Amino acid sequence: MNPDVLDLARLQFALTAGGHFLFVALTLGLATVVAALQTKATVSGKPLDARLVRFWGQLYVINYAVGIVTGLVMEFQFGMSWSGLTHYAGNVFGASLAVETIVAFFVESTFLGLWIFGWHRLNRWAHLAAIWVVTLTAYLSAYWILVSNGFLNHPVGHRTENGMLVLDDPVAVLTNPSALLAFGHIVAGALLTAGFFMAGVSAYHLFRRSPEWRFFGRSLRIGVFLSFPALMVTAVFGGLQFSTLSTFQPMKSAVFGQKTAEIAQIQADMVARFGPGDYVPSIGWTRGAGLVMLICFALMMYFTFAGVILAFFRTVVFRFRPWHVALMAAVPLPYLAMISGWVFREAGRQPWVVYGLLKTEDAVSGLSAGQMRLSLTVFTTLFVLLVVLNAWLLVRHARRGPVEAGGLGHDDRGEGPDAPDPADALPAARY
């Protein structure tokens, strides 16, 4: 295998998968938030609750729509650049990818369409059911993806026939601890991402003294109160994954812990078992990504713990501008933590694409370096454009606020944009 082709293929997959992951994190978290908000709105019948659903729901739809396109691009490059993987192990992990495609592109998209176009057309309970189907299928989609990824990291439930892997124990594949622990980690991380996003957007409007004080005060508190438990659950599943590394991927554990003697011993053991080769993953990428993830966790811990306390004080929520600035600045933290965690998970298992069974260099398609450079250029350009487009659309609609985003406008309960701000009667915050 040409080293240039291998490096280009790995870079292409890292950029496309990492870029798609950015969309998934917010989409999965916001879907849950919107479904919960609509449940409350359906039961309470309050206009403010309905406006919350419309505003945050529109931001969710924007992120989902652009994310679908990135998913299609990633699937295409995956099949084009990694034919060795699909030929060798596609009989095992390909089934879960196929189910995910059916769930995401048929069931989830269909019910999302019903939810989008069903406002004031469907019965309110039927409309609520539609968004919950969307949310549950989003979770199922994430689960099936992680079943495939979990198999690559910890292959179970298979046997070898004619030099290829075939499915032997479906239950073992579906209950793979590498998949289940990652699923809990990702779901909690997605809720954490949504919480920070909601708090940051709300803080922006409160910082600007938006007349929608009640709307964004409520949204800020939701984001803050969601973030803290989500961070705790994320940390628990992350810790459980760390505890399994010494068993599932001992080399990654040794590299992260900088255990030089253990690295040398594992390298010698793997040479004896698999033949000559370098079985030590990139120390810089593996350890660096793990440290970035832990640093982000520590920063988010301070933010969420302080935020839960501060959110109980009305004056702070509406008037404490330094906190508003901090919340806006903190929005990228969960994204950075999740991307660095993904790099740690994927880079740390090198040189294996299926751990202990198939090396990455044997999984790449037989393409020339020129072909790989061309596809890398095309895919990278497309992904950059999609990320920029998504960011522009999210910022544009978030800055508009709930009225322009399709909210119900002023209502007779004193909750609309023209209602007086009771924070004006509060003593000035001491900055």
How far is it, in rounded angstroms, from Cα 293 to Cα 297? 6
Q: What is the pLDDT of residue 407?
A: 37
pLDDT in tens, 265-295: 999 999 999 999 899 998 889 999 999 999 9
pLDDT in tens, 191-203: 999 999 999 999 9
Higher pLDDT, 431 or 225: 225
Q: What is the number of other CB atoms lying within 10 angstroms of the CB of residue 399?
A: 12
Which residue ranges make up each domain of the chain? 3-249+281-402
pLDDT in tens, 71-98: 777 777 777 788 888 889 888 888 888 8
Tokens, residue 299: 């920063």
Cross-strand bridge partners of residue 354: 358
Which residues, in sequence order, are CB contacts of 398 under 8 Å at separation 6+? 59, 201, 204
Which residues, in sequence order, are CB contacts of 298 under 8 Å at separation 6+? none
Share of the chain above pLDDT 70, in %: 93
Q: Tell me what the pLDDT averaged over the chain comes to.
A: 86
pLDDT in tens, 215-249: 999 999 999 999 999 999 999 999 999 889 888 99
Is residue 412's pLDDT more than 60?
no
Which helix (DSSP H) or strand (DSSP E) does residue 359 occupy?
strand 358-359
Q: What is the pLDDT of residue 409?
A: 35
How far is it, in rounded angstroms, from Cα 12 to Cα 373? 9
How far is it, in rounded angstroms, from Cα 148 to Cα 406? 39
Across the range 178-205, mean pLDDT stands at 95
Higher pLDDT, 129 or 411: 129
